[in-house]
Each structure stands twice: as structure tokens, then as C-alpha cells.
Copies of this chain bind each other. A is one copy, B any other.
Amino acid sequence: MARQQGSKVRAPTMADVARLAKVSPQTVSRVLNDYEFIKPHTRDRVLQAIDSLDYRPNMAARTLATSRSRTIGVIATDYLSYGPATALWGVEQAAREAGYGVSIVSLRESNYRTMTEALERLASQSVEGVVMIAPQDATAHAAFVSFDEIPVVTLSSYESGVHKPIMLDSAEGSRIATRHLIDLGHRVIRHVSGPAGFTVSESRVQGWRDAASEARLVATEPLVGDWTAESGYVVGKELARDHRATAVYVANDRMAQGVLLALHEAGRRVPEDFSVVGFDDVPEAAYLIPPLTTIRQDFTALGRRCIEAVLALINGEPPLEPEPLIPNLIVRQSTAPPLQ
């Protein structure tokens, strides 16, 4: 139990354990790997030796011998924002539960080169699979180009014939959000979208258009932001000048926050004069002024699914059919029927 103190004492190996337990190294290995035909007595001796030497198996050696690293690589372009961070959390939890470790590489910039480098890096660490948290089209694209040696699962909504990503049905979320506004009686509903190049930007715009046209409303051009509160604030000012519109559906909560501020500064009250719906349900959404009505995404579940999917691939099982998760509406105080 007591740890080795002080300097460079070589860590105990299986041979040391074997010697102490008076068995062969292979037997120690068997105990460690839950081989069934071990006498309880022998097992106990080995276990006790392991414990008293404080032996810990050397993953590198095991990986070399088995070419299984029990490690999943994660490539993320961003895990500072709530969504990706939470997904990463889910990935890591699920991975650990499955006995896997997680090695992560982040990309400040995502293009073919950086993607390839990241994959090479992970490949040389012999990761058994890779989860790519890739909100951008370019990133998702890059995933296909490169490896077929290592199973790769993408968390995005980019679809391709090659492999299906784990995703949330963004368009459906959009429809739900927009319909909520329509049901409240809004007729002119604008949209603040994410930037071009992000798959979810597209699909959210699409869902908004769909819901609008179903209700025979015209969807004017969306305003484009870049996911940040700042961009929401900027387009929010423009929105505040639009006196035909009575509601806006914003593609994420952070931009919605900026919109809220711009509206406030322009003297337009939410929800009396203007209804606002966001997307994501970040933990802070409930404490904005006013508390934000939004679409909740279960990022953790998304992350967990990624692991299920890579694991299936790793074990050569048929690839998981990834029916997209359906997000749900959380009604708070930023939406109300229009006044007039």
C-alpha cells in the first residue's frame, strides 16, 4: 500500500509480482485479465503480492503486446463553450465506464492539414477510435478524407454517404422553437443564424423556414451572427429597428443574450414588445433578464452516444444507427403573445 518513496526506484513489474507470489509471470497476467481457470488460492496470492508491491500494470507494454491501447482520441475545435465542453464531458465519462481513457487534441483552426496532424498524433498513440467534435463543415469533411484504419465518429450534423454522424436534430429543434412563437400568435418572426460553414447554422435556418412556410408566413432573410454574445448584440441592434417583427428565434443562447441586451438598450421590452427564443439551454439561460425560453440539447447524451458508436465500430459490430436526438422546448419568460 505504501508508495515508493524518493528517487528512481524502478516500478515493480509483473516479474516482481510473480516472484513474490511464487508463480509465473503469465499467471499474474492471467489474474489481471480475469482468466477463468485460476485457482482461487493462487489468485489470492497474486492479488496480495500485487497489493503489497503496489504493482500497477504498464499500459505501454500492454498496448505494445496487444495492440489495444484502451484509449479513445478526441479531436475538438472548441471545448470552451458549453456545448462542446459538455459533450466532451459525456464522452469522457462514457469512455471511462467502458474502461477506456481519453486523449485529447484541440484545434484552434480546423482545416485539412491540422485535422490530419491531429489524427496522425492520435494514431501514433494507437488510439482505438476517434471522436471528433466537429461543428464545422470543413472539420467534418476532413474526417472522411483521412483514416480508414481507425474508426472515427463525428459529432456534428454533417451527413455523408460514408458514415453517419452522431447528431441532434437541429432542424426539428428549430421547428419547435418557431412553432412556439407562431402558436403565441406571432406573424413576423425573424431568425439570427450561426455563421456559414457550420452545419447546424444551415439546418436551423431550414427548420425555421419550414415552420414558417407551414404556417403560411414569410421568413425574411436571417441575420447572421458568429455564435458569440457580441455578434448577437450587433445584429440585435438591427433587429430592434425592425418594427414589423415581434419575435426572433436565435440559433444559440449566447447570441440570444446579446440580442436581449440590444433590445433592452433600444427600449424594446422582452417579452411584451418582442419575444426571444434561444437554442441550447446553457445553465445561465434561466438567469438572463428575462429568463430565456430556449431549446434544450442534451449534450452529455450526445457525447455518450459518440462513445457507444466508436465502441461498436471498434468491436466490429454493425455501426449504430444514429437516430438523431430530439431537443425539447423550455418555456421561460422571454416569450409571450404579441401585444396589439
Residues of A within 8 A of B (CB): 3-6, 11, 56-61, 63-64, 69, 71, 79-80, 82, 85-86, 88-89, 92-93, 96, 101-106, 108, 120-121, 123-126, 146-149, 228-230, 232-233, 254, 257-258, 260-261, 264, 283-284, 286-289, 291
Which residues from chain B contact A229 at a C-beta distance below 8 Å? 283-284, 286-287
Of the A-B pairs whose beta carbons lie under 8 Å apart in the complex, a sample of 21, sorted by A's number, is A3-B147, A3-B149, A4-B148, A6-B148, A56-B120, A56-B123, A56-B124, A59-B60, A59-B126, A60-B64, A60-B69, A61-B64, A79-B88, A80-B89, A103-B103, A104-B104, A229-B284, A230-B287, A254-B283, A261-B288, A289-B289
The CA of A258 and the CA of B93, in the complex, are separated in Å by 29
With A284-B257, A287-B257 in contact, is A80–B85 under 8 Å at CB? yes
Flag if B149 contacts A11 (CB, 8 Å): yes
Q: A56-B124, A104-B104 are in contact. List 15 more A-B contacts (CB 8 A).
A: A4-B149, A5-B148, A57-B124, A59-B124, A59-B125, A60-B63, A71-B103, A79-B79, A79-B88, A80-B89, A96-B105, A101-B125, A102-B104, A260-B289, A284-B284
Q: Which of A80, A287, A291 has the most CB of B within 10 A?
A: A287
Which residues from chain B contact A5 at a C-beta distance below 8 Å? 148
Flag if B106 contacts A89 (CB, 8 Å): yes
Quote the shortest CB–CB distance from A147 to chain B (angstroms). 7
The CA of A260 and the CA of B59, in the complex, are separated in Å by 50
Quote the shortest CB–CB distance from A295 to chain B (angstroms). 18
Q: Which of A3, A59, A228, A283 has the most CB of B within 10 A?
A: A59
How many chain copies does the complex carry?
2
Which residues from chain B contact A286 at a C-beta distance below 8 Å? 229-230
Flag if A58 contacts B124 (CB, 8 Å): yes
Quote the shortest CB–CB distance from A315 to chain B (angstroms). 14
Flag if B101 contacts A101 (CB, 8 Å): no
Flag if B103 contacts A3 (CB, 8 Å): no
Flag if B69 contacts A79 (CB, 8 Å): no
Residue of B nearest to A55 (CB): B124
Which residues from chain B contact A80 at a C-beta distance below 8 Å? 82, 85-86, 89
Give the top 8 A-B pairs by smallest Cβ distance, nearest first.
A60-B63, A229-B287, A60-B64, A289-B289, A56-B124, A60-B60, A59-B125, A258-B287
Quote the shortest CB–CB distance from A211 to chain B (angstroms). 27
Across the interface, A85 reaches (CB within 8 A) one of B69, B85, B148, namely B85
The CA of A196 and the CA of B275, in the complex, are separated in Å by 40
Flag if A93 contacts B64 (CB, 8 Å): no
Which residues from chain B contact A147 at a C-beta distance below 8 Å? 3
Across the interface, A233 reaches (CB within 8 A) one of B79, B232, B287, namely B287
Quote the shortest CB–CB distance from A131 to chain B (angstroms). 13
Quote the shortest CB–CB distance from A310 to chain B (angstroms). 17
Which residues from chain B contact A258 at a C-beta distance below 8 Å? 287
The CA of A146 and the CA of B233, in the complex, are separated in Å by 49
Which residues from chain B contact A146 at a C-beta distance below 8 Å? 3
The CA of A287 and the CA of B228, in the complex, are separated in Å by 10
Flag if A106 contacts B124 (CB, 8 Å): no
Quote the shortest CB–CB distance from A60 to chain B (angstroms). 4
